[in-house]
Structure 1
Amino acid sequence: MKHSDRRIERRSTTEDAAIDWFILLEEYPEDPQVRQEFESWLNQHPEHSNVWKRVTQTSSLLGQLGQESLEPNVNTGEIAQLAVAHKSLFAKIRPHLTVGFACIFLLLSSISLIPHLMIWIYADHKTDVAQSKEIRLQDGSKIYLSAYSAVELNFAADQRKVNLMRGEVLFDVAPDADRPFVVTTGDTTTTVLGTRFNINKGRSMVSVGVEHGHVEVAQASNLQEKLDLRAFEWASLSEHGKQVVRTVNQDYIAAWRQDKLYVEDQSFEDVLFQLRRYMKIPVIVLDPRLMSKRVTGVFNLNEPRQSLDAISAAHSVQLRDFGFFVAISMI
């Protein structure tokens, strides 16, 4: 299978919130609660107003471009078909999206269709929100996908390669001295011959934990600091090359298999990124200051909303549930 290593540049939290509000206002234009919460967010900081102006201007320009530059019956299926001619996406996408919204979402970064299309095209196995799956590979290895995860496989006579495109996966690798088992995620590469280990692709870091055997972990941004992890060792590797290694108990590795999330001095942004994989409604952060708060605790992944309640109670954070989304703000 042809491998794609397209990287999507991450937006700031304020831009994330602005685009979330754009979508909600489009979907619920007459809802007074949505309008009231939006006005509150807009007035919290001058930056919010500036970012909102850029989003709406981009939407307007792209809408005009969609009307003037494309035939009326051209749709996103045809655009995607041109971009990836070897895949027949036209029939899948055609009933759902218009050109105007396709342009908006394709160009407005991480909640756009681009990362979803790349997973749709290249992923061999994936899970939805709050779903897990066990897969037996052709070499006898097993992989266990946690919620909202996706992998691309590239197996041949001389190689066993897996690209972790999103989420968290536990690998139980069958020994094969002639074919190392290699997992890539972003700029991090994990290489083994036969072992059981877990990899989690977080918001701004990758973590690797080993249940038994050992693995070699390397980052393209920090090739001088390769890690050799043994049983019950866990490492986190940031996108800036920072590496932290420590010994943990067995329950900590692949804790999601017991529906638990262990958190020790992580940012609220990283924790929320994990919990969102288990939440079936959007979570909107109205105040970017929340993202830097530090969180420690053990949370139940079967009850992500209760986990958010517990974090909120400990950090003077207010949650408001509107049924179709949850808004988070400072008290």
Structure 2
Amino acid sequence: METRTAGSNVAAKSSGDVAIHEAENPNRPKDEALRWLIALQEEPDDAALAARFEVWLAQDEANARAWAEASHVWGVLGAAEPALERRYGSPEATRSKGRRPAVRRRGRLVATAAMGIVALFALVLLQPALTIWMMADHATGVAETRAIRLDDGSVAWLGAESAIQVSFDKTTRRVTLLSGEAYFEVQRDAGRPFRVSADGVTTTVLGTAFDVRSDPDAVSVAVSHGKVAVASARAPGMATDPLEAGDWISIDQTGHAERGRADPELAGGWRSGLLVVQDRPVEEVVRVLGRYQRGRIIITGSGLAARRVTGIYDLNAPAEALLAVAETHGATVRRISPWLTVVSGW
């Protein structure tokens, strides 16, 4: 697979011939705080882990705020017993050398901490999900895919946990991808261009087939056949050639674009129930699998999220697929509760 970059306005870290680009994610400190909460409970006597946590906590005021919020929710739910409160209840308390909780209590503490984590997820994620649901003309649930015939005869396939808003008039056909992923087979109409917008990235066509995926940190477009033009409000000056069959592009929150080529059949391949990935980051693959099972999946461990993976995974068996992705890099999968799964590289 070829990769090249265009319109870059941020530095990139190179790994061999592949560039790994890190976008700012406003929810990242909260996600990391939850990962630390789990890790510190699982290994309360791990000095190296505690040292890494101290470094993370001191790196940014946002980290301290996220830790305080996670600890507060946990405490409100009654999960923090006195010894654990002294040790993990606040950034200051975390720096102390409290005693190890009794082994017989660890199972109960981990379970109640998971309740706090689930509650925090609800606070962070429920409101955006509700807003999307109210705006959507068509939406799917967990592990649900659906083909929708639009008014012009075009067809939109919605991936799991995806939503679109449709607005057609006499001069323009516009679809907004509110969340998730969609594959479009567009009926040609020279007088009415077909535009798909997703988080500031607009794809314009007359008649073609292409896939669009919206993630928290990037929007990706892949073309099955035909030709599309891609523009981004994040990078007004970005100039790219039109995408043709087999071309793909991923534009992150900074406006940086990574572009490459793959088998055209990979675009929208998830419609067959199989996820085929070629040299993609673990985080990206896990995010897709997360839409096919209930609950949230988080990744812990230095560098695991950015490592690359290639394979074919059964979307009808997401738990097994997740395990296969993890095992590729020697990671483990822990089901903390029906609502939380942790992929750990530690």
- Tell me, yes or no, whether TM beats 0.5: yes
1:15-30 to 2 correspondences below 5 Å:
15-19=30-34
Q: Which runs of 5+ in 2 are unaligned?
A: 1-23, 74-118
Residue 146 (str. 1) matches residue 159 (str. 2): yes
Q: Tell me the residue number matched to 1:54.
A: 65
Q: Give the superposition deviation at 1:141.
A: 1.2
Q: Tell me the residue number matched to 1:306.
A: 320
- The one-letter amino acid of 1:16's match is D
On the 8 A contact 1:197/1:212 being kept in 2, the answer is yes
Q: Give the superposition deviation at 1:314.
A: 2.1
How far, CA to CA, are the matches of 1:329 and 1:104 in structure 2? 20
On the 8 A contact 2:275/2:312 being kept in 1, the answer is yes
Residue 168 (str. 1) matches residue 173 (str. 2): no
Q: Tell me the residue number matched to 2:197.
A: 184
How far, CA to CA, are the matches of 1:267 and 1:18 in structure 2? 22
Residue 233 (str. 1) matches residue 247 (str. 2): yes
Q: Give the superposition deviation at 1:15.
A: 1.8
In structure 2, the CA distance between the partners of 1:114 and 1:326, relative to structure 1 (3 Å rule), is closer
Identify which of 298, 317, 322 aligns with 1:284.
Answer: 298
On the 8 A contact 2:283/2:299 being kept in 1, the answer is no
How many residues align? The count is 272
Query: What SS does the aligned partner of 1:235 have?
Result: strand
Residue 326 (str. 1) matches residue 341 (str. 2): yes
Residue 269 (str. 1) matches residue 283 (str. 2): yes
- The one-letter amino acid of 2:278's match is E
On the 8 A contact 1:13/1:288 being kept in 2, the answer is no
In structure 2, the CA distance between the partners of 1:39 and 1:114, relative to structure 1 (3 Å rule), is farther
Q: Give the superposition deviation at 1:20.
A: 7.5
Residue 157 (str. 1) matches residue 165 (str. 2): no
Q: Tell me the residue number matched to 2:93.
A: none
Give identity over the alignment, percent. 34
Q: Give the superposition deviation at 1:117.
A: 2.6
Identify which of 175, 188, 211 aligns with 1:198.
Answer: 211
1:25-40 to 2 correspondences below 5 Å:
36-37=41-42
In structure 2, the CA distance between the partners of 1:38 and 1:276, relative to structure 1 (3 Å rule), is farther
After superposing the two structures, state which structure 1 stretch, 119-128 or 224-233, moved more.
224-233
Query: What SS does the aligned partner of 1:144 have?
Result: strand
On the 8 A contact 2:25/2:217 being kept in 1, the answer is no
How far, CA to CA, are the matches of 1:263 and 1:308 in structure 2? 13
Q: Give the superposition deviation at 1:311.
A: 2.2
How far, CA to CA, are the matches of 1:178 and 1:216 in structure 2? 16
On the 8 A contact 1:135/1:144 being kept in 2, the answer is yes
In structure 2, the CA distance between the partners of 1:310 and 1:59, relative to structure 1 (3 Å rule), is closer
Q: Which runs of 5+ in 1 are unaligned?
A: 1-8, 25-33, 63-102
How far, CA to CA, are the matches of 1:20 and 1:151 in structure 2? 31
How far, CA to CA, are the matches of 1:309 and 1:104 in structure 2? 25
Query: What SS does the aligned partner of 1:223 have?
Result: coil
Higher RCO, 1 vs 2 (CA within 8 Å, ≥6 residues apart): 2
In structure 2, the CA distance between the partners of 1:205 and 1:328, relative to structure 1 (3 Å rule), is same
Residue 211 (str. 1) matches residue 224 (str. 2): yes
How far, CA to CA, are the matches of 1:288 and 1:118 in structure 2? 34
How far, CA to CA, are the matches of 1:47 and 1:117 in structure 2? 36
Q: Give the superposition deviation at 1:305.
A: 1.6
In structure 2, the CA distance between the partners of 1:319 and 1:224, relative to structure 1 (3 Å rule), is closer
- The one-letter amino acid of 1:37's match is E
In structure 2, the CA distance between the partners of 1:245 and 1:177, relative to structure 1 (3 Å rule), is same
Q: Give the superposition deviation at 1:157.
A: 2.1
Q: Deviations over 1:164-191 (max 9, x none)?
A: 1111111111222221111111121111
Let me know the Cα RMSD of the aligned residues: 3.4
Q: Deviations over 1:139-177 (max 9, x none)?
A: 111111011111111112222111111111111112222
Given the two structures, how large is their TM-score scaled by the length of structure 2? 0.67
On the 8 A contact 2:323/2:333 being kept in 1, the answer is yes
In structure 2, the CA distance between the partners of 1:56 and 1:201, relative to structure 1 (3 Å rule), is closer
Q: Tell me the residue number matched to 1:45.
A: 53
On the 8 A contact 2:224/2:265 being kept in 1, the answer is no
Query: What SS does the aligned partner of 2:130 have?
Result: helix
Q: Give the superposition deviation at 1:198.
A: 1.3
On the 8 A contact 1:176/1:194 being kept in 2, the answer is yes
